[in-house]
């Protein structure tokens, strides 16, 4: 069942974080739905601009609608990840999305406010909620690369002002994470001090954490042992997901870790079975492994086991 992002946030706020997972194809969708049913967790499916272009946005929409029928127990929202203004309007007008993200965080504050405000006005007319971003994460996201040293943490007072000026429904904050597989050279903690200040200024307002993959060392080691060349790096400490959720982080974005699962499965499969060429064989292993990965992440986010109570509170 597709619900609004607002409904998911209302249930989760302050207790657990809803996992937001990107999909690009049918295998990812199957693994995601299976993992969320196994762990009884509500979730958000995210489609990036790149995902919408990879095959065709209509294919993804059809996959999601089919999955909704195949897995009637699932409770989820559909979200545009890192949208620009034009893509936000396309998604708002399509009538398919529960929420959109307008990412104008690379613009100066006033410009970010102006763009976000326009998107909020258009979205709210259609009952769609808007995630905006303030502060800059490090790493690479599609066509934008933020060089080391240029990432800036969200200023709590600016966050309060930004939310008031734009009317956005949730805010992606930079609290020390970064996109992609190459996050931190050593162990690094989230900036809980910044998060606490933001929560104190905007109590009850849902915050979003991007760049939340953990880049598991075992996964990277297995990929490299099977011919990969992924430089060692550390990601977000998975034990910090729940403490962040208690401080208002209601949506946690995880994409890179799923790509690592895909890469490990396929590299190991073709290393061990060099004569194989039926892509369905590794595809089946990937769906199984991805579903296990999703279920394990939902345990750490605290979203596992929430479906029955959420269903009750939705009156369904
Ligand atoms: O933050 C970006 C997400 O990981 C999506 O990546 O834009 O390559 O689809 P993508
Ligand atoms: P990761 O690259 O850490 O998985 O972050 C994904 C993300 O923020 C998607 O918007
Ligand atoms: Zn992101």
Ligand 2 centroid–CA 213 distance in Å is 6
Ligand 2 neighbours, Cβ below 6 Å, are 22, 81-82, 179-180, 210-213, 253-257
Ligand 3 centroid–CA 164 distance in Å is 23
Q: Which residue from 79, 142, 212 has its CB within 8 A of the most atoms of ligand 2, so it is best to mutate?
A: 212
Which CATH number covers residue 76?
3.20.20.70
Task: Give the environment of ion ligand 3: residues with CB less than 5 A.
Answer: 210
Whole-angstrom Cα distance, residue 62 to residue 264? 28
Ligand 1 neighbours, Cβ below 6 Å, are 22, 48, 50-51, 81-82, 141-142, 179, 255
Q: Which residue from 51, 60, 209, 260 has its CB within 8 A of the most atoms of ligand 1, so it is best to mutate?
A: 51
Active site residue 81: yes
Residue nearest to atom 9 of ligand 2 (CA): 253
Ligand 1 centroid–CA 142 distance in Å is 6
| The total number of structural domains that make up the chain | 1
- Give the pLDDT score at 47: 98
- Give the pLDDT score at 162: 98
Domain that holds residue 17: 5-314
- Give the pLDDT score at 103: 97
Given 56, 81, 84, 103, the catalytic residue: 81
Ligand 2 centroid–CA 255 distance in Å is 5
Q: Which residue from 141, 190, 235 has its CB within 8 A of the most atoms of ligand 2, so it is best to mutate?
A: 141
Residue range 222-272, pLDDT digits in tens: 999 999 999 978 999 999 999 999 999 999 999 999 999 999 999 999 999
Q: Could you read off the pLDDT tens digit of each residue along the chain, which spans 316 residues?
A: 999 999 999 999 999 999 999 999 999 999 999 999 999 999 999 999 999 999 999 999 999 999 999 999 999 999 999 999 999 999 999 999 999 999 999 999 999 999 999 999 999 999 999 999 999 886 655 555 555 555 689 999 999 999 999 999 999 999 999 999 988 887 789 999 999 999 999 999 999 999 999 999 999 999 999 999 999 789 999 999 999 999 999 999 999 999 999 999 999 999 999 999 999 999 999 999 999 999 999 999 999 999 999 999 999 8
Half-sphere exposure of 143 (CA within 13 A, CB side): 7
- Give the pLDDT score at 58: 97
Give the number of the ligand closest to the Cα of residue 253.
2
Whole-angstrom Cα distance, residue 81 to residue 103? 8
Q: Which residue, 285, 294, 304, 292, is CA-closest to 27?
A: 285
């Amino acid at each position: 069942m597709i619900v609004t992002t607002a409904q998911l946030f209302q249930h989760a706020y302050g207790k657990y974080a809803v996992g937001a997972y990107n999909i690009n194809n049918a295998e990812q969708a199957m693994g995601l739905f299976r993992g969320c049913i196994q762990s009884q967790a509500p979730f958000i499916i995210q489609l990036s601009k790149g995902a919408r272009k990879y095959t065709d946005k209509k294919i993804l929409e059809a996959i999601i609608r089919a999955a909704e029928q195949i897995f009637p127990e699932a409770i989820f929202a559909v979200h545009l990840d890192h949208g620009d203004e034009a893509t936000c309007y396309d998604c708002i007008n399509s009538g398919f999305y529960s929420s959109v993200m307008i990412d104008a965080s690379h613009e100066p504050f006033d410009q970010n406010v102006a763009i976000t405000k326009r998107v909020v006005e258009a979205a709210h007319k259609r009952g769609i909620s808007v995630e905006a971003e303030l502060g800059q994460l490090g790493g690479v996201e599609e066509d934008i690369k933020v060089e080391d040293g240029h990432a800036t943490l969200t200023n709590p007072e600016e966050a309060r002002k930004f939310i008031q000026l734009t009317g956005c429904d949730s805010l992606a904050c930079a609290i020390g994470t970064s996109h992609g597989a190459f996050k931190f050279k050593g162990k690094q903690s989230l900036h809980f001090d910044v998060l606490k200040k933001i929560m104190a200024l905007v109590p009850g307002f849902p915050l979003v954490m991007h760049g939340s993959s953990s880049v598991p060392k075992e996964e990277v080691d297995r990929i490299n042992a099977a011919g990969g060349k992924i430089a060692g790096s550390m990601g977000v400490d998975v034990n910090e997901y729940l403490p962040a959720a208690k401080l208002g982080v209601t949506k946690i974005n995880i994409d890179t870790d799923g790509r690592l699962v895909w890469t490990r499965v396929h590299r190991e499969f073709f290393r061990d079975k060099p004569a194989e060429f039926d892509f369905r064989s590794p595809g089946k292993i990937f769906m199984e492994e991805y579903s296990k990965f999703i279920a394990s992440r939902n345990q750490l986010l605290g979203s596992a086991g929430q479906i029955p109570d959420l269903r009750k509170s939705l009156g369904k």
